[in-house]
Amino acid sequence: MIMVWIAVLALSIVTYVLLDGVDLGIGILMGLTPKEGWRQRMFNAVGPLWDGNEAWLIVAGAVLWGAFPIVFSTLISAFQLPISLMLIGLIVRRVAWGCRFKSEAARSICDASYCCGSLVAAFMQGAMVGGLVEGLPLSSSGYVGGTFGWISPFAAVCGIGLCFGYSLLGAAWIFYNSEGGLRDQARQFVEYSAGGLLAFFTFLFLYTFVGDYRVMSRWLDHTYLLAIPATGPVASFLLSATMHYRRDDLALYAGMMIFAVGFATLAISFWPYMIPFSITIDQGAAAPARLAAMSWLGAFALPLLALYTITSHSVFRGVGRRRRARSSSEKSQDTERGCSLFAVCIPLFQISAGGARHRTGEQTKVYDGEVAHTGTNGAPDGVRRVSATSDC
């Protein structure tokens, strides 16, 4: 039963990182996008999806609280400040989103707020992972590091690295869901973000594998596991190839593969610890009766959330390109309707003009678009301008 909830926790964390990472990445890139029209299209590409994405963060917290209460209480004690700042950033994003569509005058302020909220939330998530990997000061009574015990240069670098990673996911999503100039801009964002993420992974490898003997010995004792982190360079090469050949769908999947490989590498490096080298899975798990009771709730709620997530992403996938294609189709249809109306009016005009020429007792002459009516004696009795619109 414990391993079932470990799998649920891992699935919820990975799902949240991959899905809400797209939202946060687009928010970060919002501050680097110069045109307001492009920013609007970026909002449209992610707007229908982010409510379901953030639900997976709630699931991860609920699983920690219910199935691993010791781990939950330790993490809450250690990361009170970054969790609070992360939640503030997420709230600022939500407020900025709502205000942007209600006030055109404050749209630039809302865009800046959305970018800052996304940046703060992403940085705090990465910093918490860095503090957890480096190790928390614990004693038999729990966390003893104080409010700032988790802060370190390594945690700050991890925060920056996760910002690059989320930017990569967001840029790949924009590249997949857009066309024209925004698509070219997203391609540049992917290249820059991938370069920053590659530098971060290089630093992380040297710091963790070489600097920590306990982590390095685990991989050296089980060399067959090296195939998992080796998948990372393969995914990076796939990302580069897909961008070169403009395979937008594969670029998004390659970026997600990089994140999945990074998570698997991190989990294997510290297995079976939930808090590295301090609390194991068995030590942090709740009583079997509590885990069994949670299983009934999880068996009902998790499939519904998974179904909602899959359905929403299937429906809104490529929404930006479909909107632009539909807009172009509507313009083409309007042009065709205009041409058809013009084609109907021309014969009506000809019939009307022909009837005027054969009036009883009158003769009609046309001079440069003007129709002169003459009586039976040939003297003109009036000149009027012929209008195709009036005759139609």
Query: Does residue 232 sit in the same domain as residue 188?
Result: yes
Query: Does residue 273 sit in the same domain as residue 372?
Result: no
Closest CA to 117 of 148, 97, 92: 92
Specify the pLDDT at position 341: 41
Query: Does residue 280 sit in the same domain as residue 361?
Result: no
Query: Does residue 152 sit in the same domain as residue 234?
Result: yes
**What residues pair up with 280 in beta bridges, in sequence order?**
273
Domain finish residue from 264, 299, 317 = 317
Closest CA to 23 of 98, 130, 117: 117
At 370, list the tokens: 């003007």
At 123, list the tokens: 């940085």
Separation of alpha carbons 305 and 311, rounded Å: 10
Domain finish residue from 266, 299, 317 = 317
In a domain, 147, yes or no: yes
Cα of 130 vs its chain's centroid, Å: 24
Q: What is the CATH number of the domain that holds 58?
A: 1.20.1630
Query: Does residue 89 sit in the same domain as residue 157?
Result: yes
Domain finish residue from 317, 335, 364 = 317
Residue 384 has φ and ψ, to the nearest 5°, of -130, 150
Cβ(213)–Cβ(205) below 8 Å? no
In a domain, 325, yes or no: no
Query: Does residue 361 sit in the same domain as residue 236?
Result: no
In a domain, 329, yes or no: no
Separation of alpha carbons 360 and 206, rounded Å: 102
Cβ(161)–Cβ(10) below 8 Å? no
Cα of 106 vs its chain's centroid, Å: 23
Specify the pLDDT at position 386: 42
- Residues 87, 93, 97, 99, CA torsion sign: positive
Provide the pairing of β-strand 138-139 with 142-143. antiparallel
Which residue in this structure is represented by tokens 């070219």? 184
Query: Does residue 31 sit in the same domain as residue 143?
Result: yes
In a domain, 339, yes or no: no
Specify the pLDDT at position 316: 62
Domain count, the chain: 2
Query: Does residue 236 sit in the same domain as residue 292?
Result: yes
Query: Does residue 150 sit in the same domain as residue 37?
Result: yes
Domain that holds residue 370: 346-391
Separation of alpha carbons 258 and 234, rounded Å: 9
Q: What is the pTM of this model?
A: 0.78
Cβ(110)–Cβ(144) below 8 Å? no
Cβ(235)–Cβ(256) below 8 Å? no
In a domain, 384, yes or no: yes
CA 364 → CA 19, 348, 351, 357, 380, distances in Å?
A: 75, 18, 14, 5, 9
**What residues pair up with 143 in beta bridges, in sequence order?**
138
Specify the pLDDT at position 391: 43
At 242, list the tokens: 């897909």
Q: Which amino acid is at 289?
A: A
Query: Does residue 305 sit in the same domain as residue 355?
Result: no
In a domain, 285, yes or no: yes
Report how far apart the first and last C-alpha atoms of the chain are (Å, whole number).
80
Specify the pLDDT at position 382: 46
Q: Which residues of the chain have pLDDT under 70?
A: 47-52, 211-213, 248, 316-392
In a domain, 176, yes or no: yes
Provide the pairing of β-strand 363-367 with 273-275. unpaired
Separation of alpha carbons 190 and 257, rounded Å: 15
Rounded to the nearest 10 degrees, what angle do helices 2-30 and 50-67 cross at?
140
Specify the pLDDT at position 167: 94
Specify the pLDDT at position 381: 47
- In terms of Cβ atoms closer than 10 Å to its own Cβ (0-12, 13-18, 19+), residue 225 is middle
